[in-house]
Structure 1
């Protein structure tokens, strides 16, 4: 670093060049979430397809106290002493949280995942779970994370923050392809690295909306076992399949301990609580011979990142779980129908403005997910941040450039459309505005 005490005395204050800071701060790709948020604030009247926020029309302020009281009653009914309850709510709580029992029961009911409570760590959203998992698993400079690409920007950001290199595994038309994972792992080894884990969102992925078939899930587990890889399964959207159309999670199919499961209540229960969880039941033998689940051992990392997760937020989420008998899948059926209606409104509006039989004329196409929050729209020009800002300013609609989500470049002529927090009326109006922007923007070779 070029800054020094002498420099600061001469200049009167400490100053930095951006290049002097950590690579995670310098990298422009780390700015994507902030830029999208600031664009939304800069153009508040624009209809926003740039967000991945969950629907907020079902939130009721009066229910906060109800959920909290329900969890307190649950603790009393299970024999927890009043003094212990007061400490849980008002003091620093256990590092790994105190609603693991409730989460474990939910996982059995919703996902057929059977793990002991001590194999669950409660985190500050799934983002903290990613940081903790990566910090625990990656131990040397040669360790590499494989990730589906395009991918959720948070996993790339977590890896860059920890100086962990990321190897892209390019997504096929139906999601991550197992043999592509095998090839990527072997390529990393051939270059002298060690592929440690592969990150993916099997159900309605952010940003593409793709979903892995059950056969592909089983094949991926086999590849992971044969290649000595762990799979980081992120599942924020799995509850929102059409009724009867859900697929088993990788974790529920895993019989070899290859999967670490990342969960969150942000989409299903309470976004503002910022409560997520890490399921890591792989046994770890410690120096004294004691064997504990990986999640329990990783508490050392969490204690140095956030000390613990909010007690009040955990209690509210715990109350929601108890109230619904640990069955969030049934409790979110109406919400799932809302998202499916919004997906249908998005695709039908796109079809109205860009008929498939006229593709040669307009050059626009999109994928059609079976659920989730997102789809990808391909256009005939560069769809970058400058184009998005112009669209928001001049046409009153925003979106997210797909280039933000590619690990190693790509997606320059594509947009991610997030429809989860727009009414069907706003979706139709937003697609109409977007269609005008697209048709009035010159296509490029």
Structure 2
């Protein structure tokens, strides 16, 4: 059997929609001279190889200072470690300080980035063909992509200007139940959502928690950008507000530390009762799935992240303030440049508008032509500026006339030049 067709492969592999991130990265490599608004990479100007090694050393010294025997430290660094990770206590300490989330270390699983956390959570919660995942749309492709690989159906819930609307979640859940399906969980990024940059207001968060309890839904809360709010505008996580045990919290150090570590975490403190009456945290039960996916998360990566946590007294909120201000400056630069090239009062003339997030890494620009991959490649090739088609992030066929701009890893001067190039591309593209 020397060759295969798509029919020979799992539907999640054959689905063209699963290929969006690879296509974006390949376009960036194909046109290296293009200024890229298509990426969601964090700022990399402060990465230092010396810090990498010193963070590992810092954690090792922390273990020594804590009285951990040298032989055990050596084994932790070089051997297979606990499936759920050995820096759970450090992460639990950070969550108490930064998010007001008070859980025991046993409720934390250290994962290979967010993506493994998503896979593990979905595999544990979804038990049959009638179980359905609700997801905000547009959304980060990682969660619906994970569901697709596990044959879990996804029902989109279209977001509004303030993110996911709780009443829309309740309506979608009831419609599914009327069709004999079981709405099992709902996924969202409540703080500066990828791709739209929306923030769910405080009262809507409380209402969503009530809806979850009433409808028997778990909430899968993804929070990569919450620490980058403007001073005085920080919002409590759904997990910190949860009093009924309906929230599983999915986190990552990709944006707050560095993505190359590939360290994330899952927080699931719900109690699971076994047939013999024993009770364990859901995170511990889910370790059975993790052990089959990756066996364990890299020891050296865990040590590097834990060293950063120890060095910053287990708070990244204060440690990332300077970085947050940098992102705010870049967001403000994008908004200012867009307004200069496309004055809002002349919208009828140019047909371009955008939303104005208060933070995060992304915003959305609406245009009056189809902004698909072919248009993006033409933009990168002929105008030397790239972006991401919003249609990649919609689960319901929307976003055909919009583009996501990611600005987190572009200096202000590059942003100004990039928006100038983008303006020329938009102005030269016929309206349809």
**TM-score with structure 1 setting the length:** 0.97
Equivalent positions of 1:271-350 (< 5 A) are: 271-350=259-338
Counterpart residue number, 2:413: 425
1:31-66 CA-partner distances (Å, limit 9, x unpaired) = 001000000000001000000000000111111111
1:308-340 CA-partner distances (Å, limit 9, x unpaired) = 000000000000000000010000000000100
Q: CA deviation at 1:73?
A: 0.7
Equivalent positions of 1:18-417 (< 5 A) are: 18-417=6-405
The residue matched to 1:175 in structure 2 has which SS? Answer: coil
Q: Distance in 2 between matches of 1:93 and 1:235?
A: 26
The residue matched to 2:121 in structure 1 has which SS? Answer: helix
Q: Distance in 2 between matches of 1:286 and 1:154?
A: 31
1:275-308 CA-partner distances (Å, limit 9, x unpaired) = 0000000000012211000000000000000000
* Runs of 5+ consecutive residues of structure 2 not aligned to the other structure: none
Q: Distance in 2 between matches of 1:256 and 1:77?
A: 38
Q: Distance in 2 between matches of 1:387 and 1:136?
A: 40
Q: Distance in 2 between matches of 1:286 and 1:73?
A: 39
Q: Distance in 2 between matches of 1:265 and 1:389?
A: 31
Counterpart residue number, 1:3: none
Q: Distance in 1 between matches of 2:99 and 2:37?
A: 30
Q: Distance in 1 between matches of 2:53 and 2:373?
A: 41
Q: Distance in 2 between matches of 1:244 and 1:124?
A: 32
Q: Distance in 2 between matches of 1:205 and 1:393?
A: 29
The residue matched to 1:246 in structure 2 has which SS? Answer: coil
Structure 1 residue ranges (4+ consecutive) displaced by more than 6 angstroms after TM superposition: none
Question: Over aligned residue pairs, what C-alpha RMSD do you find?
Answer: 0.5
* Runs of 5+ consecutive residues of structure 1 not aligned to the other structure: 1-7, 9-13
Q: CA deviation at 1:270?
A: 1.7
**TM-score with structure 2 setting the length:** 1.00
Q: CA deviation at 1:360?
A: 0.2
How many residues were matched structurally?
A: 432
Q: Distance in 2 between matches of 1:256 and 1:361?
A: 51
Q: Distance in 1 between matches of 2:7 and 2:36?
A: 33
Q: Distance in 1 between matches of 2:108 and 2:66?
A: 20
Counterpart residue number, 1:5: none
1:379-405 CA-partner distances (Å, limit 9, x unpaired) = 000000000000000000000000000
